Amino acid sequence: MRDADSLAAADQASTRAISGNFSQSDRERKLESPDRFSNLAMLITMQSRKIPELVPGLAVLLGRELETDARGLAIIENTR
């Protein structure tokens, strides 16, 4: 499930970087560019999802809900 969530987060990051439609939970970090005519930024997306409890009582034993957290990264070019 984690691998699938990581792929989905990376796909969302690429799609949002191209479209410019960012989610409220997305973070954009400016990057230094050696080229003075283009600016670069890094878009970081986060995705979390609850995991079905396949082993009864596992969540109680761990003391927390079962979930995956995945981050996706994309580079945004020419942000000027």
Q: Is the pLDDT of residue 73 over 90?
A: yes
pLDDT of residue 80: 53
Give the pLDDT confidence of 13-64 residue by residue, as tens digits. Answer: 999 999 989 989 899 998 887 777 778 889 999 888 888 888 888 888 888 8
The SS3 assignment for 12 reads helix
| Token pair in block for residue 46 | 């986060």
Look at the pTM and tell me if it is higher than 0.85: no
